[in-house]
Amino acid sequence: MSQTAQLERAHLFGGLEPQPADSLLAIIGMVRRDPRPDKIDLGVGVYRDAAGNTPILRAVKKAERILNETQVTKAYLGGEGDVRFVELMKEMVFGAGASSDPRIVGLQTPGGCGALRLGAELIRAANSEARIFVGQPTWPNHVPLIGSAGVGLVEHPYYDCDARRILFDAMMAALETGRPGDLVLLHGCCHNPAGADLSADQWQAVADIVSRRGLIPFVDMAYQGLGHGLEEDAAGARLVVAASDQALVAHSNDKNFGVYRDRVGSLHVKAASEAQAQVVYSNLLVLARTIWSMPPDHGAAVVRIILDTPELAADWHAELGEMCARIRSLRARIASFDPRLAYINEQNGMFSMLPIGGAAVADLREKEGIYMANSGRFNVAGLSDDNVERFARAVVARLPENL
């Protein structure tokens, strides 16, 4: 090998190509650079109160004080994370008594993203031929998080933004082509980006097809409690998990506890037997070790303290109820401005999609200082009481007349 070739090889990063900025991060940057004091950021998925602030919940503040006063070490937790936190999350996800079900194992992860990636790595290790059926549109990071683990993805229709409806028949037709052992990625509640959740009857139909065709649910539950309530929002996921001998649930507390930057999540796996569950658990620990080694402690400890302290738990339930009610109120207010926006009041959670094109989205940014994803996905919970009307009127002015 010539000296020139050797030098070229030594330039480790010389072969890298520039990468486009993540679309959400690009929006955050645009918002920061916009000097207009009345700009509206509806891109990033955080809850804002009536004044437009993202508060730290009262219960979280109190729990952090308790943690600060009582924590005696910063030693590693171990690969499983906070064991009591995981037990509490199993109950929250699967219902009362779930923590004693030996077929369900779980461990703490860095947010819901960590749970999704760990689940994908487990699937790849368990069955390299398994595919995951993914409805479109979905959260933009779903495909990179799961697909980059090497799992095959099968995209299928889920929601028609222009018609503002779930394409349930097309979804079910796609799932009918699934092979036993294939997985189905399901949004547990508060669908991101559409806000369009399955009805109770539709969840039952999905549970039936999962059972009949031997499919495995992979449920992403990132917004539990922000649709209609903790129990109501978990009903569909519990139905499909109960219908299957095997299932995965990626769960996040970032939104419902408002601990976004602390990255609090967990992955739970249901196996066909207790013995199989223990094999799964041993594999999860090894896989987690190769990705993040040990999970962070602070956020999970705060959540554990809240749920294990009756007065803090009651306060958190009250605050979560307030956030849920505010989101529902915002949806109703937006929907009232024009019949073409009425569908927004029928949806759930933080996100919805506007039936406008990229040109209209760009026009909203340039002329109104209103920022959202190019797809028309916007964070309902990002609005303050003072800017709902300005937002709605600006959107109505750009809606197609023939909707």
Q: d(Cα 321, Cα 147) in Å, to the nearest integer?
A: 35
Q: d(Cα 174, Cα 155) in Å, to the nearest integer?
A: 9
Q: d(Cα 219, Cα 187) in Å, to the nearest integer?
A: 6
Both tokens of residue 373?
A: 């994803």
Q: d(Cα 80, Cα 267) in Å, to the nearest integer?
A: 10
Residue 90: active-site member: no
Q: d(Cα 139, Cα 142) in Å, to the nearest integer?
A: 6
Q: d(Cα 40, Cα 382) in Å, to the nearest integer?
A: 8
Q: d(Cα 184, Cα 367) in Å, to the nearest integer?
A: 41
Q: d(Cα 106, Cα 71) in Å, to the nearest integer?
A: 24
User: Cis peptide leading into 137, omega within 30 of 0?
Assistant: yes
| Catalytic site residue from 62, 139, 243, 254 | 139
Collapse the DSSP code of 297 into the 3-class scheme (helix H, G, I; strand E, B; otherwise coil) and give the result. Answer: coil
- In one-letter notation, the amino acid at residue 385 is D
| Catalytic site residue from 222, 234, 247, 301 | 222
Instruction: Compute the C-alpha angle 339/344/350, nearest 5°.
Output: 160
| Catalytic site residue from 254, 255, 300, 315 | 255
Which residues have a Cβ under 8 Å from the Cβ of 206 and sit 6 or more positions away?
172, 175, 184, 186, 198, 236, 240
Strands (E), 202-270: 216-221, 247-252, 264-270
Which residues have a Cβ under 8 Å from the Cβ of 352 and sit 6 or more positions away?
193, 194, 195, 331, 344, 377, 378, 380
Residue 255: active-site member: yes
| Catalytic site residue from 220, 233, 262, 315 | 220
Residue 235: active-site member: no
Both tokens of residue 56?
A: 């730290």
Q: d(Cα 145, Cα 153) in Å, to the nearest integer?
A: 11
Element (DSSP H or E) covering residue 222: none
Rounded to 10°, the helix 310-335/388-396 angle is 40
Catalytic residue set: 139, 220, 222, 255
